[in-house]
Amino acid sequence: MRKNAVALASFLLLLVAAVIGSCAKPYHAETEKYYFVATNINLPYWQEAQAGFLDAAKALGVRAELIGPETYDPGAEATMFRDLVEKQPSGICSRRSGDLRGCGRAGVEEAAVYRDG
């Protein structure tokens, strides 16, 4: 009898934990949108970065998009970045760390990406 009581108590404890865990709110809202700003987005390097970025966004339950010029054009990349800051997305990831200085003042989360070589 005692063995059954312990098993029942363990089951009920596990059930309660599962119910409480399923009611927890996610850390991120589905309406959040994050952008990755890169240059020459047709390069395989940035295509791989995009794949990882989109996988991470899917795991977090948010939306994400890689944007940037299709050829090497730092001026166009900077313009896209400034236009994006004005839209106030949930966050911006950029390879150009100098551009990120204005994000915090605009209320946008920022992250810099560095590449060796």
Residue 50 lies in a domain: yes
Q: What pLDDT shows up at residue 38?
A: 87
Domain that residue 88 falls in: 33-112
Residue for token digits 């994006």?
84
Residue 28 lies in a domain: no
C-alpha dihedral sign at 111, 107, 31, 29: positive
- The pTM for the full model equals 0.64
What digits encode the pLDDT tens for the residues 81-109? 888 888 888 888 877 655 555 555 555 65
What digits encode the pLDDT tens for the residues 31-63? 889 999 888 899 998 899 899 999 999 998 899
* Core vs surface per residue 36-67: b (16+ CB within 10 A) or e: bbbbebeeeebeebbeebbeebeeeebbbebb
Residue 21 lies in a domain: no
Residue 11 lies in a domain: no
Residue 84 lies in a domain: yes
Residue 6 lies in a domain: no
Residue 58 lies in a domain: yes
Please count the structural domains in the chain. Answer: 1
Residue 65 lies in a domain: yes
Whether residue 107 contacts residue 88, with contact meaning beta carbons closer than 8 Å, is answered with yes
Determine the residue type at 62: V
CATH code (residue 107) = 3.40.50.2300
Which of 35, 32, 31, 33 has the alpha carbon at shortest distance from 81? Answer: 35
- pLDDT greater than 60 at residue 21: no
